[in-house]
């Protein structure tokens, strides 16, 4: 099996699973044991500063939003472009960190781009492959632009890059469940 880690999963326009409707997921792990990733386009109303006291004794004044990485609870996870704080390279110039020390360094500096996620998206062995066979996702190579630039309109932008007929066939007939997610 070829790993899809480092690729984006783009939800098909008529995906009925509300956890993933109109989402873009960066796959950070994919092997025979399953897959995990982070939803890139679901910022929350909560800032990093608001949750930071719960996870660290080091003060933080970062007003960036915490993103909702998916429906599975877990530790705070950072996607960033800081090589020295990176625990795993996901795609060129994009790293994942979950360690407290790495997260402290990231949220208290302003040079490297980063995002912090609460929760993640997970699939058991063979589950993602089955969803792909059923046509539930488009696959697209990830770049730091997808990961760190504005989450607003990311899903639509990627659908257009996958193929304009995707939007023409499906999106015009779909009523958004929450327009703020686009």
**Contact indicator for 50, 61 with CB cutoff of 8 Å:** no
Give me the pLDDT at residue 153, please: 93
Who wins on pLDDT, 66 or 163?
Answer: 66
58 CB burial (10 A radius; 0-12, 13-18, 19+): middle
pTM of the model: 0.87
Give me the pLDDT at residue 58, please: 83
Q: What is the mean pLDDT of residues 73-81?
A: 94
Give me the pLDDT at residue 115, please: 96
pLDDT at 159 exceeding the cut of 80: yes
Estimate to the nearest angstrom the gap between the alpha carbon of 180 and the chain centroid.
16
Provide the residue ranges of all domains of the chain, joining segments of one domain with +: 7-181
pLDDT at 138 exceeding the cut of 80: yes
Give me the pLDDT at residue 167, please: 52
What tens digit of pLDDT does each residue of 97-111 get? 998 888 988 998 868
CATH architecture of 7-181: 3-Layer(aba) Sandwich (3.40)
The secondary structure of 55-124, three-state, reads HCCCCCCCCCEEEECCCECCCCEEEECCHHHCCEEEECCEEEECCHHHHHHHHCCCCCCEEEEECEEEEC
Q: What's the pLDDT band for 112 if we cut at 50, 70, 90?
A: confident
């Amino acid at each position: 099996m070829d790993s899809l880690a480092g690729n984006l999963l783009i939800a098909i326009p008529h995906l009925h699973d509300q956890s993933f409707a109109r989402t873009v997921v960066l796959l950070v792990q994919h092997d025979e044991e399953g897959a995990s990733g982070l939803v890139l386009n679901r910022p929350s109303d909560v800032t990093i500063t608001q949750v930071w006291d719960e996870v660290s004794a080091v003060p933080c004044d970062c007003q960036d939003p915490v993103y909702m990485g998916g429906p599975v609870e877990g530790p705070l996870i950072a996607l960033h472009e800081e090589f020295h704080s990176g625990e795993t390279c996901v795609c060129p110039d994009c790293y994942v960190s979950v360690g407290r020390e790495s997260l402290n360094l990231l949220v208290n500096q302003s040079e490297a781009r980063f995002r912090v996620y609460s929760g993640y998206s997970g699939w058991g062995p063979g589950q993602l492959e089955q969803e792909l066979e059923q046509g539930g996702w488009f696959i697209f190579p990830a770049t730091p632009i997808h990961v760190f630039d504005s989450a607003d309109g990311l899903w639509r932008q990627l659908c257009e890059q996958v193929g304009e007929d995707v939007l023409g066939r499906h999106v015009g007939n779909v009523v958004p469940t929450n327009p703020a997610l686009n």
